[in-house]
Amino acid sequence: MGIIKTKNLVYEYIRRDEEGNVEGITTAVDKVSLNVKAGEFIAVLGHNGSGKSTLAKHINAILSPTEGTVWVDGKDTAKEENLWEIRQTAGMVFQNPDNQIIGQVVEEDVGFGPENLGVPTKEIWERVEESLKAVGMYAYRKHSPNKLSGGQKQRVSIAGVMAMHPKCIILDEPTAMLDPNGRKDVIRAARALNDVEKITIVLITHYMEETIYADRIFVMDQGRIAMEGTPREVFSQVERLKELRLDVPQVTLLAHELQKRGLRLPKGILTTEELVEALKCLSY
C-alpha cells in the first residue's frame, strides 16, 4: 500500500438552516480512489471548487470521509486512535503564510512544531537548523517573520512542517499569494524536500508551470479525478485541459499551435529548452 491511499472517497458538505434541517448538500469529493507511493511528487490541478482542498484535508485527517476510506501510511484516518500518528506523518502547508507563522523569531517559529511533539530540546535545534537550511532560510533564523516577504514567510512555514519530520507534506496552493520570485523559491524548496529528503509531496496549485516537475499529476473536476498521468501525458491533451477550464503552460500551448499548423513537433513539450531542441531538429 502507498503512503496515501483513498478508496471510493466521498465527502459531502451539508448546509442546515437555523432549526437544523438540511438545506443542501455539496458533494465536494466524489468517489476518488488514488494511490500515492512513498517518495512521489504529486501535483493536483483543478479549477476553483473542484474539490482539491477538501481532498487535501482528508490526508491529514482534518476531515473524515462521508463514504469510503483514506489510509495514510496504512492507517485509516476515520479511526480516532490513529489521528496523532497521521498528523505526524502528513503535514499541511496552507495558502496564507500569515496564518501559519506564530513565532516572534524565525527559528522559534520553526521550533514550535517539534516542541509540541515533545522532541528533546537539543534535537529541536538540530531540526530547526536542518529545516531552515533545506528551504534556504537559515540566514534569516534570527529575523522577525513579520519583516519577511511572502515567499520567505511561506518557506519558513514549510520549514516548520518539515521540522516535525513528516513522511509527507501537502501544500495547498502555497504560492497563490506570492509574487513570481517567491513562487519559484517555494517550489524549489518543495522539490528539494522531495529530491534530497525523499519526503512525499502533494502540491495543489493552479499554476501549470509549477507542476511540470511532478512525477504524476491528478486533474480534478467536480470532485472527481478527471485526468491522471505524467506531466507530459497530461499536457499533451491540450483540448481536454481547456474543457476542464485549465490553462496549459505557455510553451506547451505554442508547441500545440505550431503542430496544428503542420510543424512536426513531439507531443507534450513542457519547457522552452525542449521546444528549442525540437525546432532545431526540424530545421536540419
Task: Report the amino acid identity of residue 157.
Answer: S
Supply the DSSP string of 50-115, one letter for each residue: SSHHHHHHHHTTSS--SEEEEEETTEETT-GGGHHHHHHHEEEE-S-GGGT---SSHHHHHHHHHH
H or E element, residue 134? helix 121-134
Residue 86 CA to residue 235 CA, distance in Å, equals: 33
Interface residue with ligand ADP among 53, 82, 154, 211 (CB under 6 A) is 53
Q: Binding to ligand ADP by residue 60, rule CB under 6 A?
A: no
Q: Which of ligand ADP, Mg ion, none does residue 50 bind (CB under 5 to 8 Å by kind)?
A: ligand ADP
Q: Binding to ligand ADP by residue 211, rule CB under 6 A?
A: no
Q: How far is the CB of 173 from ligand ADP (least distance, A)?
A: 8
Interface residue with ligand ADP among 5, 52, 87, 256 (CB under 6 A) is 52
Q: Binding to ligand ADP by residue 25, rule CB under 6 A?
A: no
Q: What is the per-residue binding string for Mg ion in 24-53, x denoting contact by CB under 5 A?
A: ----------------------------xx
DSSP 178: S
Q: Are β-strands 41-45 and 200-204 bridged in parallel, bridged antiparallel, or unpaired?
A: parallel
Interface residue with ligand ADP among 49, 103, 136, 229 (CB under 6 A) is 49
Q: Binding to ligand ADP by residue 28, rule CB under 6 A?
A: yes
Q: Which of Mg ion, ligand ADP, none does residue 114 bind (CB under 5 to 8 Å by kind)?
A: none
The sign of the dihedral angle between the CA atoms of 51, 52, 53, 58 is positive
Instruction: Write out the residues near ligand ADP by the rule CB under 6 A.
Output: 13, 26, 28, 46, 48-54
